[in-house]
């Protein structure tokens, strides 16, 4: 595997001219008013990095432009759908999200601290788990598919009202053991290609792997509209894609390892702004 | 040359970087162009095509066409399975004969824009867009 | 019937007579190209928006013929002259016969 990376590093010299299409110094202001922190000092627990960067910084200028305006951002189509769903009464209790939570804007501050420990449920919960918890326990409605269209649209809505706020997930207290589990997974090599998350996203961000311009793998921008499949994508689906790309058997969406990984990776972005729904390739 | 593993990898990386699918044949689109122009001669002044040099993803490539005074602009993707992309017909209330949109490109190829002017003449602009595939984008 | 097809348009609310304005339009539509195959290897038939028009008080601003190479969620940006107050009408025509519309009023001072 060292051979692969060594060859890759040499070939990167061929790439740099092409990769110049990305403007890594650019700043992101959405709708000319929401300032997004796309680069900042790495959080203390992150020993191997000095600066953390949002995935936005690594994309081509055309892709970056798509996120600067809510009309241009194709991910906002799904947020509009979720806005409608927000007021839909569903389930045996005759409630909608709005009945308890008010307007979506009132949910600002929620996305930046997820995944987080839920005392009543005695577990670390991702936003999807919390939404389904509300649906089944409070609304008497059916669960949404974890990474299905309805859930991702709602995640997009919840992210959008927190844009500009710094990610701030707790890594201590009751969440600590999950966080440590996630950290261990992050640094474990998997699959036939024997790659860990860190091999690409910590050791080689900014370089190219084949034709891909590697980011730091931050998830402050999720859910993200990928140009590749022209729809919103969730964090855990993306993890599955990455793990599959190391030619490993991937974890299922929603299992403990995925929750742990999501918590840990989110904490690597503490300080970056919530950006979702973002636009990536 | 002796193909060591490193050589093969470097060649693979180099070629993947430049997305060297065989450059799609321009000839395939000539019939469609002729259908639009009626075989007339095509000039090159007065039309602008803006497209990225490298498309981050072939699924959604932003382009812009502009031909002051044109009646219509037709856009082709010379290497797509079906080259026609769109035809923009401008009405009397179009402030500029320009339009932006997002298109799909199946691989590295030339994007061609041809404008029909009110006097029956045609002008054309084209640009190669590199479409990268492969990588760990999943 | 294509599902969940929602048009969105952005038009300034007001303008001066004869001003050139920028209009942006987006419609959520899969734009099934006819090139993809399903799990069994059968071609998924083409099903796209094939035409988009924008008129103002009945006069054409732009009339676009779309082919399968237009991306999912077709987006168009173009410029219009606004001679007087009135209404922009936007129309999208689907292969399956459906027609989607949206309209925006603009006040001219």
The CA distance from A66 to the nearest CA of chain C, in Å, is 11
Give me the active site residues of A, please.
242
Q: Residue A231: which pLDDT band, with cuts at 50, 70 and 90?
A: very high
Q: Which of A214, A142, A168, A225 lies closest to A37 in space, CA to CA?
A: A168
Read off the pTM.
0.87
Q: Are A241 and A124 in contact (CB under 8 A)?
A: no
Top-confidence residue, A60 or B12? A60
- Identify which of C10, C28, C72 has the shortest CB distance to residue A71: C10
CB contact under 8 A, C80 and B86: no
Q: What is the number of H-type helices and E-type strands within chain A? A: 10, 11
- Whether residues A11 and B53 touch (CB distance < 8 A) is answered with no
Residues of chain B with C-beta less than 8 angstroms from the C-beta of C65:
86-87, 89
Counted across chains B and C, CB pairs separated by less than 8 A come out at 95
Q: Which residue has the higher pLDDT, C57 or B31?
A: C57
**DSSP H or E segment with residue B11:** helix B5-17
Spatial separation of the C-alpha atoms in residues A273 and C63, rounded to whole Å: 41
**DSSP state for residue C41 in the 8-state scheme:** S
Residues of C in Cβ contact (< 8 Å) with A230: 71-73
Residue entry with tokens 């900042």? A40
- ipTM of the predicted structure? 0.94
Q: Sorting pLDDT into bands at 50, 70 and 90, what band is C31?
A: very high
Return the pLDDT at B13.
Answer: 54
Task: Assess C24–A contact: CB distance below 8 Å, yes or no.
Answer: yes
Give the largest CA-CA distance in chain C: 60
Across the interface, which of B80, B95, B102 has its CB nearest the CB of C20? B95
| Geometric angle at alpha carbon C4, from A278 and B106, rounded to 5° | 60
Chain A residues 44-73 with a CB less than 8 Å from chain C? 71-72
From the CA atom positions of chain B, what is the Rg in Å? 18
Considering only alpha carbons, which residue of chain A is nearest residue B105? Answer: A228
Contacts of C58 in chain B (CB under 8 A): none
The predicted structure's pLDDT at residue B30: 87
B53 touches chain A (CB under 8 A): yes
Chain A nearest CA to C77, separation (Å): 10
Of C6, C8, C71, the CB nearest to A230: C71
**CA–CA separation, C36 and C42 (whole Å):** 8
Q: Is A175 helix (H, G, I), strand (E, B) or coil?
A: helix
> Quick check: B34 contacting A, CB < 8 Å?
no
Dist. CA A141–CA A256, nearest whole Å: 24
How confident is the model at residue B87, as a pLDDT? 97
At residue A255, φ and ψ (nearest 5 deg) are: -80, 165
CA dist., res. A118 & res. A156, Å (int)? 21
pLDDT tens for each residue of A51-64: 999 999 999 999 99
Burial letters A112-138, b for 16+ CB under 10 A, else e: bebbbbeeeeebbbbbbbbbbbbbeee
Of the candidates A100, A72, A79, A53, the residue with the CA atom closest to the CA atom of residue A213: A53
- Count of CB contacts below 8 A, A vs B? 91
Reported as type and span, the H/E element at residue B129 is strand B122-131
End-to-end Cα spacing for chain A:
26
Q: How far is CA C61 from CA A208, A238, C78, in A?
A: 44, 42, 9
- Residue A160 distance to chain B (closest CA, Å): 22
CA distance B11 to chain A (A): 9
Q: Is the dihedral of CA A229, A235, A237, A238 positive or negative?
A: positive
Q: How confident is the model at residue A5 (pLDDT cuts 50, 70, 90)?
A: very low
Q: Which structure tokens are listed for A227? A: 């140009």
Contacts of residue A222, defined as CB under 8 A and 6 or more positions apart, other chains included, come to: A155, A159, A233, A234, A235, A238, A276, A278
User: Average pLDDT in the A206-224 region?
Assistant: 91
pLDDT tens across B22-54, in order? 444 456 688 889 999 998 889 999 999 999 999
């Amino acid at each position: 595997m060292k051979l692969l990376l060594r060859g890759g590093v040499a070939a990167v010299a061929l790439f740099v001219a092409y990769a110049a299409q990305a403007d890594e110094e650019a700043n992101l202001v959405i709708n000319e008013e929401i300032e997004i922190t796309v680069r900042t000092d790495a959080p203390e627990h992150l020993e191997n990095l000095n600066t953390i960067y949002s995935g936005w910084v690594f994309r081509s200028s055309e892709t970056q432009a798509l996120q600067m305006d809510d009309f241009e951002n194709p991910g906002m189509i799904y947020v509009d759908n979720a806005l409608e769903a927000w007021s839909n009464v569903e389930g045996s209790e005759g409630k909608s999200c709005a009945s308890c939570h008010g307007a979506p804007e009132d949910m600002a501050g929620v996305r930046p601290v997820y995944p987080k420990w839920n005392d009543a449920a005695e577990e670390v919960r991702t936003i999807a788990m919390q939404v389904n918890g509300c649906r089944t326990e409070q609304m008497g409605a059916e669960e949404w598919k974890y990474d299905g269209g309805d859930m991702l649209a709602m995640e997009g809505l919840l992210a959008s009202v927190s844009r500009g706020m710094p990610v701030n997930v707790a890594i201590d207290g009751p969440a600590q053991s999950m966080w440590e589990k996630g950290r261990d997974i992050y640094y474990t090599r998997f699959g036939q290609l024997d790659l860990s998350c860190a091999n690409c996203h910590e050791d080689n961000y900014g370089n190219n792997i084949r034709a891909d311009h590697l980011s730091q793998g931050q998830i402050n921008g999720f859910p993200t509209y990928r140009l590749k499949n022209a729809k919103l994508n969730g964090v855990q689906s993306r993890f599955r894609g990455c793990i599959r790309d190391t030619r490993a058997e991937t974890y299922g969406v929603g299992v403990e390892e995925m929750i742990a990984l999501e918590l840990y990776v989110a904490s690597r972005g503490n300080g970056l702004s919530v950006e979702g729904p973002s636009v990536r390739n | 040359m002796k193909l060591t593993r490193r050589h093969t990898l470097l060649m693979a990386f180099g070629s993947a970087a430049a997305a060297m699918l065989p450059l799609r044949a321009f000839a395939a689109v000539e019939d469609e162009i002729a259908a639009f122009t009626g075989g007339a001669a095509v000039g090159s002044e007065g039309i602008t095509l803006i497209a990225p040099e490298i498309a981050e993803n072939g699924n959604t490539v932003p382009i812009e066409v502009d031909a002051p005074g044109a009646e219509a602009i037709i856009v082709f993707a010379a290497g797509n399975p079906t080259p026609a992309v769109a035809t923009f017909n401008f009405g009397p209330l179009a402030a500029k004969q320009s339009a932006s949109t997002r298109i799909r490109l199946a691989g590295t190829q030339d994007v061609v824009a041809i404008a029909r002017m009110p006097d029956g003449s045609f002008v054309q602009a084209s640009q190669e867009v590199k479409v990268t595939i492969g990588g760990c984008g999943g | 019937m294509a599902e969940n097809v929602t048009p969105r348009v952005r038009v300034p609310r007001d303008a001066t007579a004869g001003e050139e304005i920028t209009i942006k339009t987006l419609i959520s539509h899969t734009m099934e190209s006819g090139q993809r195959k399903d799990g069994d290897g059968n071609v998924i038939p083409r099903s796209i928006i094939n035409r988009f028009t924008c008129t103002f008080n009945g006069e054409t601003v732009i009339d676009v013929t779309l082919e399968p190479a237009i991306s999912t969620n077709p987006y168009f940006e173009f410029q219009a002259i606004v001679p007087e107050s009135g209404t922009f009408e936007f129309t999208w025509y689907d292969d399956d016969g459906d027609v989607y519309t949206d309209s925006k009023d603009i006040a001219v001072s």
